[in-house]
Amino acid sequence: MTQRRIPIVAEPPDEVMVSLYEAQKKIYPRSVSGPFTKWRWGMIWLTQVVFYGLPWLEWGQRQAVLFDLGARRFYVFGLILYPQDLIYLTGILVISALSLFLFTAVAGRLWCGFSCPQTVYTEMFLWIERKIEGDRAARMRLDGLPLSMEKVTRKGLKHILWIGVAMWTGITFVGYFTPIRELLVEFYQASMGPWEMFWVFFYGFATYGNAGFMREQVCKYMCPYARFQSAMFDRDTLIVTYDETRGEPRGRRSRTTDTTELGLGACVDCTLCVQVCPTGIDIRDGLQYECIGCGACADVCDTVMDKMGYARGLVKFSTENGIAHHWSQRQMLQRVLRPRVLIYAAVLSVLCIGLLVSLSFRTPFRVDVIRDRGVMSRIVEGDKLENVYRLQIMNANEKPQHYRISASGLSGLEIESESDESESDESDGRVTVGPAQSRWVTIHLRIPENTAEPGSHIIQFVVQALDSPDHVSEKSVFLVPR
Ligand code: SF4
Ligand code: SF4
């Protein structure tokens, strides 16, 4: 009997194309109302009244808050800071970062959900969108329609308003760095300088793009804070949570359904919590890095629970421990003061107190000493050896100030000053500097020839305010040639 041979042929492999990039689905957040939404709008009003209003406040003859980079001077109400005061700016940045750590450890992404500019501007742009295109269902329907006059009109109007808000935001932002009243006039006359024009349009364009189009993608893919926040979370951090033990098994039912008979949990699977979510996630899947802690799902779920006659709080702000152990609010609050929070709070308090003390005891003027490298040591009349220096005196007061300059460190040291500016100086090292102005003064230091060893000698300039006991000492060197 002959055996039949059956050839074994390898089947061609199934080819599956896997895209490395997920197609972006447009999210249409549904409008929602409730206590957390009210809080968010309260924070939007508060932050935006401050942001849009601050550059318009006047302080005497000038803008109250102005970071004048051209003049290298920062005005914050009565405080006048120079670039030499950068330490205070560094202190404020460190305090802001630590505050963020503290609030994150206590309340999770409170900043993201209620005060972050991305959330705030997205909410404002969404509000405009809803007013013109309607709520979620209407917007989805409009996007699905072919081009029509109505669609073009609605979309066009929305974009005009978005661009208006974005440009106003750009002008306001630049108005912190250049006087806003003049900037506005220049904007209307199309005569802004190149830097002002660049930043107004750049900031406006960024607002338009981020709040109008990118929205949740900024939080999901661009914001670094979302990535490292988990390092600051623990089981007692406040997060938006779904009470799974109470909610599951989920299922649709009518108000009169006996849930115990059907073995159902409290979640009616209405998906409203997903529909209101600005990042499009389902909080019932557990804590996710995309959740910005806005509480919209908690607000909408409470309205569902009210309609069904169930207890509120199926989705709520709680902690992992709170949910696991069924703790009351009081029990959760007792866990707020834990070691990590206390350490953050202690460091933050020390820094805040240090910054305030340092600001209040700050000398109200600054001095920079530069040795004039164009003029080497030289012999002048009277057999004197002369070195030349340039001193910049920066008056951080709102009034003109008078100063006396002296120098020490070598025997027989004499001082002679001349101002680099047109106003005449008082003699004998005395200088007057106008309010919030800085002034260059050229100082000639002389010693009798052959009274000091060749080489460099440390000397000390002292600038004494004549209207107050404040003084500033600055070191420099006096060169004696061989
Ligand atoms: S809103 Fe509440 S009831 Fe509705 S699906 Fe979400 S968790 Fe369930
Ligand atoms: S899951 Fe809830 S809290 Fe988190 S982003 Fe979505 S709506 Fe806001």
Instruction: Give me 16's structure tokens.
Output: 């599956």
Distances (CA, A) of 352 to 92, 176, 341, 346: 8, 24, 16, 10
Give residue 379's Cα distance to chain centre.
Answer: 56
Residue 301 Cα to ligand 1 midpoint, Å, equals 5
Q: Which residue has the higher pLDDT, 23 or 394?
A: 394
SS3 220: helix
pLDDT at 24 over 90: no
Query: What average pLDDT does this structure show over 64-73?
Result: 89
Whole-angstrom distance, CA of residue 211 vs CA of residue 160: 14
Find the length of the chain. 482
pLDDT at 2 over 70: no
Ligand 2 pocket, 247 CB below 6 A? no
Instruction: Tell me which of 33, 259, 268, 291 to substitute to probe ligand 1's pocket, judged by most ligand atoms within 8 Å of the beta carbon.
Output: 268
Ligand 1 pocket, 270 CB below 6 A? yes
- What is the percent of the chain with per-residue pLDDT over 90, rounded to a whole number? 53
- What is the percent of the chain with per-residue pLDDT over 70, rounded to a whole number? 93
Atom of ligand 2 nearest to the CA of 293: 3
* Per-residue confidence (pLDDT) for residue 361, from 0 to 100: 86
Query: What average pLDDT does this structure show over 173-178?
Result: 96
Place of tokens 């919209």: 296
Instruction: Give me 146's structure tokens.
Output: 């072919």
CB atoms within 10 A of CB 222: 11
Counting ligands in written order, the one closest to the CA of 116 is 2
Q: Which residue has the higher pLDDT, 25 or 358?
A: 358
Q: Which residue has the higher pLDDT, 274 or 101?
A: 274
Whole-angstrom distance, CA of residue 304 vs CA of residue 296: 13
Query: What average pLDDT does this structure show over 29-41?
Result: 95
Distances (CA, A) of 162 to 199, 201, 263, 329: 18, 14, 49, 41
Query: What average pLDDT does this structure show over 31-46?
Result: 96
Query: What average pLDDT does this structure show over 369-391?
Result: 84
Closest residue by Cα to atom 3, ligand 1, is 267
* Per-residue confidence (pLDDT) for residue 70, from 0 to 100: 85
Q: Under 8 Å CB-to-CB from 249, ≥6 apart: which residues?
A: 263, 264, 265
Whole-angstrom distance, CA of residue 188 vs CA of residue 197: 12
Instruction: Give me 353's structure tokens.
Output: 């107190």
Within 124-269, strands assigned E span 239-242
Residue 19 pLDDT level (bands cut at 50, 70, 90): low
What is the tens place of the pLDDT at every residue in 401-438?
A: 999 999 999 988 888 766 555 444 545 668 899 888 88
Within 195-284, strands assigned E span 239-242
Q: Which residue has the higher pLDDT, 157 or 231?
A: 157
Dihedral Cα 261, 267, 272, 274, nearest 10 deg: -140
SS3 213: helix
Counting ligands in written order, the one closest to the CA of 293 is 2
CB atoms within 10 A of CB 328: 9
Closest residue by Cα to atom 6, ligand 1, is 273
Query: What average pLDDT does this structure show over 443-470?
Result: 89
What is the tens place of the pLDDT at every residue in 310-319?
A: 999 999 999 8
Counting ligands in written order, the one closest to the CA of 246 is 1
pLDDT at 7 over 80: no
Ligand 1 pocket, 271 CB below 6 A? yes
Whole-angstrom distance, CA of residue 31 vs CA of residue 126: 9
Q: Which residue has the higher pLDDT, 112 or 2?
A: 112
Residue in 327, 463, 321 with CA at minimum distance from that of residue 395: 463
Residue in 235, 233, 173, 163 with CA at minimum distance from that of residue 205: 163
The string of DSSP codes covering 168-204 is HHHHHHHTTTTTHHHHHHHHHTT---HHHHHHHHHHH
Counting ligands in written order, the one closest to the CA of 302 is 1
Ligand 1 pocket, 449 CB below 6 A? no
Residue 283 Cα to ligand 2 midpoint, Å, equals 7
Atom of ligand 2 nearest to the CA of 298: 2
SS3 141: helix
Residue in 165, 197, 164 with CA at minimum distance from that of residue 178: 197
* Per-residue confidence (pLDDT) for residue 449, from 0 to 100: 86
Q: Which residue has the higher pLDDT, 428 or 330?
A: 330
Whole-angstrom distance, CA of residue 139 vs CA of residue 31: 12
Ligand 1 pocket, 283 CB below 6 A? no
* Per-residue confidence (pLDDT) for residue 106, from 0 to 100: 85
* Per-residue confidence (pLDDT) for residue 9, from 0 to 100: 61
pLDDT at 181 over 60: yes
Atom of ligand 2 nearest to the CA of 280: 6
Instruction: Give me 303's structure tokens.
Output: 């309205």
Query: What average pLDDT does this structure show over 296-303?
Result: 96
pLDDT at 128 over 90: yes
Place of tokens 């999901």: 220
SS3 34: coil
* Per-residue confidence (pLDDT) for residue 428, from 0 to 100: 62
Closest residue by Cα to atom 8, ligand 1, is 267
Closest residue by Cα to atom 7, ligand 2, is 277
* Per-residue confidence (pLDDT) for residue 271, from 0 to 100: 95
Give, for 129, the enclosing helix (H) or strand (E).
Answer: helix 117-133
Ligand 2 pocket, 279 CB below 6 A? yes
Ligand 1 pocket, 305 CB below 6 A? no
Ligand 1 pocket, 304 CB below 6 A? yes
pLDDT at 275 over 60: yes
Instruction: Tell me which of 39, 239, 291 to substitute to probe ligand 2's pocket, judged by most ligand atoms within 8 Å of the beta carbon.
Output: 291
pLDDT at 323 over 90: no
Query: What average pLDDT does this structure show over 262-273?
Result: 92
Whole-angstrom distance, CA of residue 292 vs CA of residue 458: 58
- Average pLDDT across the chain, whole number: 88
* Per-residue confidence (pLDDT) for residue 210, from 0 to 100: 95
Q: Could you tell me where the DSSP H helices lie in 361-449?
A: none
pLDDT at 480 over 50: yes
* Per-residue confidence (pLDDT) for residue 423, from 0 to 100: 47
* Per-residue confidence (pLDDT) for residue 48, from 0 to 100: 96
Backbone angles phi, psi at 287, to 5 degrees: -65, 125
pLDDT at 270 over 90: yes
Residue in 178, 351, 332, 118 with CA at minimum distance from that of residue 241: 332
- DSSP letter at 426? B
Residue 32 Cα to ligand 2 midpoint, Å, equals 12
384-395 and 378-380 strand pairing = antiparallel
Model pTM?
Answer: 0.83
* Per-residue confidence (pLDDT) for residue 58, from 0 to 100: 94
Helices first, then strands: H and E counts in the chain: 17, 16
Whole-angstrom distance, CA of residue 369 vs CA of residue 130: 60
Q: Could you tell me where the DSSP H helices lie in 272-398?
A: 272-275, 296-308, 320-325, 329-334, 339-360
Contact 210, 218 (CB under 8 A): yes
Query: What average pLDDT does this structure show over 298-304?
Result: 96
